[in-house]
Structure 1
């Protein structure tokens, strides 16, 4: 039978609250695309992101609009031309990879011509909060080898937050994510504070539409593009401003473009980080394949949820294991 596409909106409660420079959330809303052909099923999950003008209902509509095309045999190559980079294309692209692998009886890694994935060490995220709260959160997570520190508060306390986190986790490697929350005036001070706290990477310190100052700024530690980086079309604009790029499947529009972007970024001299939006293990699974060989891996989304889906990824502390075929791939 021809493949049949369906989609659904799912809601995942967060364990507590998750706070970044743009605000707090207590629930994650994702969209799942599912393609079945009577024998095999392929799935993909995306996280519609308001920062990029996406809503769950809008993304679901984009996916549903391609039901007839999927039934007619739309493949991954054609999908890249039908939809722009973003959450809807990500869910469909990953569902098509999953379906193709299950039809062929091989892994997605084999289909992509890549080695089978190995376990990885992922960062573990500390939400933005008061210096005291972040110190305690760091103490609770101090045994983890890599901590990602959310900063970007408007009250100018980020140096104090960093010092508190370093006090709470004296031996952990720290990376920082400002989520566009710094200003050009505060950039130098905050980067010095990062260097003093032995931070090894800073993500997106300035707004994506106002990051030109990075080209002339002294960067005592590597600066990584996140909101400024989506797909290969914008790669040239990052050169000279950033030292690294955070590749997320919801920004690239799926694994197909993400793999190509990783190759292009490395060829351009950028360090590759692989990150995620908050979502369940189904959204992380394709990124595990992408993350093989990445300098920094940040795929802790399911660890921050109150519950994960059936057959979710296995985490042993900060070590994460590749997905089983029952989940994806």
Structure 2
């Protein structure tokens, strides 16, 4: 099997701010596998808060290149690389290769009939007035994901709710609140009709959520990187956000889906931005999710060829086989 590893950079349309970070662009790592003339591709972006960046992803892949080119199979990848962007890129490339070698779509391989997904559109942190304006300008989108910090979050939510009384709102705090702040803000989020609060507390500092009952469902993002961390997260959160760059690919993502469904947990699929090549395998996970966040390409100046189509209201086209799967 022939392996190609490339770092490809994509500038963003405008700077994007979350708690503690501003992003101007992203570096992706594309894995291309060729076996007897058949090509499969996968993309890894990594996870910034675990220092999983493009150069490190490439180094991880280059270290195991010999194993890959000897004909690695997906089952072996789970032991070959740890969870993260490198394993995600390789795992998804192997899924794509498997589908194309079999002459089947990913849906046929999995025995699924896909449905079109409706993604949230994300509102970045800004002044309350600007966030309200952003929400108003996104009037075609019924589902909005609001980035918040500890800086007057309820004032910002009130501005958004005033601008969009019709919208389904989830909020993403990216570890920006304390437990005391969470308890203070929950009644307001209930009053404002928020559907979910994602990652309010810091990763590793959320043990106070065990046994805590919130009137608004709480979601784990940074607090559930992989299947290994799921058992702890299930005791603290109502919703699990699966990101393939966190857990290391579609193979493990589907395992988390199964475990969460068995436990009656809500599910969300998210992304670390990325092109449509990152969103396509996430689209598979999205089939099982109430909350869908695959709007990464929306923030890029340019997507890749054969990318997903983002229609009115955030409806996202089913990935074409030319893109992935």
Q: Work out the CA distance in 1 between the residues paired with 2:113 and 2:215.
A: 36
1:11 corresponds to: 9
- How far apart are 1:38 and its partner, in Å? 4.2
Q: Deviations over 1:164-218 (max 9, x none)?
A: 1111111010000000001122111222221121100110000011111222434
Partner of residue 116, structure 1: 113
**In structure 2, C-alpha distance between the alignment counterparts of 1:193 and 1:28, rounded to whole Å:** 35
State the match for 1:86 in structure 2.
84
Q: Does 1:160 align with 2:160?
A: no
The CA deviation at 1:49 is 2.2
Q: Equivalent of 1:174, from 169, 173, 182?
A: 169
Mapped partners of 2:149, 2:305: distance in 1: 35
- Is this contact kept in 2: 1:87–1:253, CA < 8 A? yes
Please give the alpha-carbon distance, in whole angstroms, between the structure 2 residues aligned to 1:21 and 1:114.
Answer: 40
2:261 corresponds to 1:263: no
User: SS at the partner of 1:209?
Assistant: coil
How far off its partner does 1:107 sit?
Answer: 1.1
Does residue 313 of the first structure (1) align with residue 313 of the second (2)?
Answer: no
Is the Cα contact below 8 Å between 1:6 and 1:67 reproduced in 2?
Answer: no
Counterpart for residue 22 of structure 1: 20
Aligned mate of 1:291, from 276, 286, 289: 286
Residue pair 2:268, 2:291 contacting (<8 A) in 1 also: yes
Cα separation, 2, equivalents of 1:201 and 1:114: 31
The structural deviation recorded for 1:37 is 2.1
Deviation for aligned residue 1:57: 0.6
Shift of residue 114, structure 1, vs aligned partner: 3.0
CA distance in structure 2 between the partners assigned to 1:23 and 1:132 by the alignment: 21
Residue 204 of structure 2 is aligned to residue 192 of structure 1: no
Could you say what secondary structure the match of 2:149 adopts?
coil
Number of corresponding residues: 324
TM-score, structure 2 as length reference: 0.97
Aligned partners of 1:307, 1:141: CA distance in 2, in Å? 20
- Secondary structure of the residue that 2:107 maps to in structure 1? helix
- C-alpha distance in structure 1 between counterparts of 2:116 and 2:238, whole Å: 26
**TM-score scaled by structure 1?**
0.96
What corresponds to 1:137 in structure 2? 134
2 CA distance for matches of 1:239 and 1:289?
22
Structure 2 SS opposite 1:235: helix
* Residue segments in structure 1 that go unaligned for 5+ positions in a row: none
Q: How much has 1:132 moved relative to structure 2?
A: 1.0
Q: Secondary structure at the match of 1:106?
A: coil
3-state DSSP of counterpart to 2:78:
helix
